[in-house]
Amino acid sequence: MSEGAAKKEERHKFQAIRGTRDLLPPETALWNHVEKTANEVFATFGFGAIRVPIFEPTELFARSIGLDTDVVSKEMYTFEDYEATELVELRTAAVTNVASLATGEALIDFLDRVGNFILAAEKAFEAGRIPRTPENERTLQMARELIAILQTFRYQGEREILPRVAELKDAVRQVRFGDVISLRPEATASVCRAYIEHGMRQLPQPVKLYYIGPMFRRERPQKGRYRQFYQIGAEVLGGSDAPAIDAEVIEMVMTFFDRLELHGVQLDINSIGCRECRPKYAQLLRAELLRVKDKLGPDSQRRIQTNPLRVLDSKLESEQGTIATLPRITDHLCEACATHYSAVKRQLEMRGVFFRENWRLVRGLDYYMRTTFEITAQGLGSQNAVCGGGRYDGLVELLGGPPTKGIGFAIGEDRLILSLQESGKAPAQPGRDVYIAWMGERAHATAIRAAKDLRKAGFSVELPPVEQKFGKALGQADKLGAKHALILWR
């Protein structure tokens, strides 16, 4: 390294990765307040806290959220988790930057390196250090056969062997060293996995769970949109889809927001039907959209085929007039869904929860059905959704569990905090109750005992680690906003 480069290296300052951030005092006091309130309010509704892992098999999210969603197709942080690190080097040596195979020796050398890798991979496979999946077994077998074929070739030039070499390289690249895992982009799938894994079907139903924690999505960062963000969410799982369950879950979020004195809260609800009626509506909508296709932008035009309901989500000014004329799902629900939806609305009214029906509310994730809802709050600009939720009967079954009904929501904690701050609700970091100014060794000993007793009684105490002149000590006490100063000397 040149001297200049070394200096530059030295000066290099680390910064939080784009889309992530540090949360610092005094702001963290507000985060604590919000989470404490969630713990208290949710407990009054009989919800218990669940903590699920930050990472899970990618497949869990792919299967539940849906392969066609942005979250799964492009926003997950995914990596292979493996312990057989020696295989990485052997694989790189075997197939990366392979020089031309223009001579027989070059081919033999290449086959040697690939052979080394396959041998090591087979050993790891036998020992269970790489996944003992049928795919891995097949891939290793195929690589072995291709090596054998290439070894028997009488070398007559590169052209003849290249297709086989390409196949062999592909096989080598396909050997899986470990499980493919992803940082969780949301937690509903994990909660459902846990419900199945721990046989929660045996518990009194419904099971009511809530969680608080970070989620990860590689989205374009902007105000209210981060790559590591926090959600507070809850799920109700069990045998019943009684409308009162939907209403109570919604009532709980609204109570929570009310307790936090969140401003400008607006609850939108909709029913997006079920497996019976939604496809029929989607077909009708698609036909209508095709009729007005020319009035829509390219994104919506594309969605006519892939996911027509998402067209309703469009915020494009030029499309709003056209969208207003489209058929509404609430007019096309099957009888069971229509009855369910009316009952949910009645139940909300009984609970004094104000809502607005929004026929254009469709949720981004695949697993939702029937009741869907979204809550917006003040001061968030275009990213004003602070909570999204809905019913997802069938998700547990999709993940290999028993037939189970489910409903839940996720609050974007970052946005919730932002909205509270915008409305000036931020409680200031509480100052110290007592500042103990001391001078002299004996006073220090007394100060330590006094601090211990005061802290035990619940007071916040600042005890300076080194002796200070009283003038300086009192100045410091003032800066920290201490309510009292205890002065000890000698």
Q: How far apart are CA 67 and CA 2, in angstroms?
A: 48
Q: How far apart are CA 283 and CA 304, in angstroms?
A: 10
Residue 208 vs 217, nearer CB to ligand AMP: 217
* Binding status of residue 217 toward ligand AMP by CB under 6 A: yes
Residue 415 vs 444, nearer CB to ligand AMP: 415
Residue 149 Cβ, how far from ligand AMP at the closest point, in Å? 50
Residue 218 Cβ, how far from ligand AMP at the closest point, in Å? 9
- By rule CB under 6 A, what string of x and - marks binding of each residue 179-208 to ligand AMP? -------x----------------------
Residue 228 Cβ, how far from ligand AMP at the closest point, in Å? 8
* Binding status of residue 388 toward ligand AMP by CB under 6 A: yes
Q: Candidates 57-65, 166-174, 226-234, 433-441 — which segment interacts with ligand AMP by CB under 6 A?
A: 226-234
Q: Candidates 55-63, 113-121, 223-231, 268-276 — which segment interacts with ligand AMP by CB under 6 A?
A: 223-231
* Binding status of residue 210 toward ligand AMP by CB under 6 A: no
Q: Which residue is nearest to ligand AMP (CB)?
A: 412
Q: Candidates 61-69, 110-118, 128-136, 222-230 — which segment interacts with ligand AMP by CB under 6 A?
A: 222-230
Residue 364 vs 431, nearer CB to ligand AMP: 364
Among 410, 417, 436, 461, binds ligand AMP (CB under 6 A): 410
* Binding status of residue 414 toward ligand AMP by CB under 6 A: yes
Residue 214 vs 327, nearer CB to ligand AMP: 214
* Binding status of residue 310 toward ligand AMP by CB under 6 A: no
* Binding status of residue 175 toward ligand AMP by CB under 6 A: no
Residue 191 vs 410, nearer CB to ligand AMP: 410
Residue 412 Cβ, how far from ligand AMP at the closest point, in Å? 2
* Binding status of residue 264 toward ligand AMP by CB under 6 A: no
Size of the site for ligand AMP (CB under 6 A): 17
* Binding status of residue 108 toward ligand AMP by CB under 6 A: no
Q: How far apart are CA 355 and CA 265, in angstroms?
A: 10
Neighbouring C-beta atoms of residue 68, cutoff 10 Å: 10
- By rule CB under 6 A, what string of x and - marks binding of each residue 363-382 to ligand AMP? -x------------------
Residue 230 Cβ, how far from ligand AMP at the closest point, in Å? 8
* Binding status of residue 386 toward ligand AMP by CB under 6 A: yes
Residue 233 vs 273, nearer CB to ligand AMP: 233
Q: Which residues contact 123 (CB under 8 A, 6 or more apart)?
A: none
Residue ranges that bind ligand AMP, judged by CB under 6 A: 186, 217, 219, 224-226, 229, 231, 364, 385-388, 410, 412, 414-415
